[in-house]
């Protein structure tokens, strides 16, 4: 009876200690691809940025509706044109790859985005979370979450500043022309 009990305990222990496949990674080819896409975004190398996505990829920036890589690229280009400089800081960024219960490969990125508004010089800092699903080394789905309010507020303030300065410049030109007469 003792032997049977020991055999049963050994079997339970053996089954309980069975190696599970690794599901979390701090380094991977997919993480490198995601980081190269972030670098391409910072460098405005849109060809390199686009190369990371599958043709059918859907990208979600703070929305449920997914955009094509081309439409999302246009949105990014239209936003960054307003910034004298922008990018993610190295300190405080973190990446991991996860193979989920459905055997899907996801890369998560947490970082801090900084930008300087061209018109006003105002600095904007926003924490960002990005998660991307990969198939065959291409992003097929991407979700990006951040608080867009500080960015929109800074751009709106710069727009108001620009509009407020324009009439002054026109008035100065009119005054200068009148002075000549």
The architecture that CATH gives domain 20-180 is Roll (3.10)
Q: Among candidates 46, 112, 47, 44, which has minimal Cα distance to 84?
A: 44
The residues, any chain, with a CB within 8 Å of residue 25's CB and separated by 6 or more, are: 31, 96, 97, 98
69 near 87, Cβ under 8 Å? no
User: Would you list the domain boundaries of the chain?
Assistant: 20-180
The structure tokens 């190295």 sit at 90
Of all residues in the chain, the percent with pLDDT exceeding 90 is 71
Return d(Cα 112, Cα 165) in angstroms, integer: 32
Query: Any idea which of 13-17, 38-42, 108-112 has the lowest mean pLDDT?
Result: 13-17
Residue 179 above 60 pLDDT? no
Over residues 93-136, the pLDDT tens digits come to 999 999 999 999 999 999 999 999 998 999 999 999 999 999 99
| pLDDT value, residue 161 | 78
| Helix (H) or strand (E) run with residue 97 in it | strand 83-99
User: Please, are residues 81 and 73 in contact by the beta-carbon 8 Å criterion?
Assistant: no
What number is the average pLDDT over the span 152-177? 70
Q: Predicted confidence band at 82 (pLDDT cuts at 50, 70, 90)?
A: very high
Phi and psi torsions of 21, nearest 5°: -65, 150
Burial class (CB in 10 A: 0-12, 13-18, 19+), 17: exposed
């Amino acid at each position: 009876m003792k032997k049977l009990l020991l055999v049963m305990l050994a079997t339970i222990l053996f089954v309980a200690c069975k190696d599970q496949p690794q599901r979390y990674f701090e380094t991977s080819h997919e993480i490198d691809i995601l980081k190269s896409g972030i670098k391409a975004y910072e460098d405005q190398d849109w060809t390199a940025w686009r190369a990371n996505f599958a043709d059918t990829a859907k990208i979600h920036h703070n929305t449920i509706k997914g955009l094509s890589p081309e439409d999302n690229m246009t949105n990014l280009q239209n936003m960054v044109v307003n910034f004298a400089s922008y990018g993610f800081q190295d300190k405080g960024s973190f990446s991991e790859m996860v193979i989920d219960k459905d055997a899907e490969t996801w890369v998560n990125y947490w970082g801090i985005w900084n930008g300087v508004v061209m018109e006003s010089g105002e600095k904007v800092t926003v924490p960002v979370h990005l998660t991307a699903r990969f198939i065959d080394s291409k992003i097929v789905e991407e979700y990006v979450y951040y608080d867009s309010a500080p960015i929109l507020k800074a751009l709106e303030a710069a727009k108001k500043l620009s509009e407020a300065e324009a009439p002054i410049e026109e008035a100065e030109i009119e005054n200068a022309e009148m002075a000549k007469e």
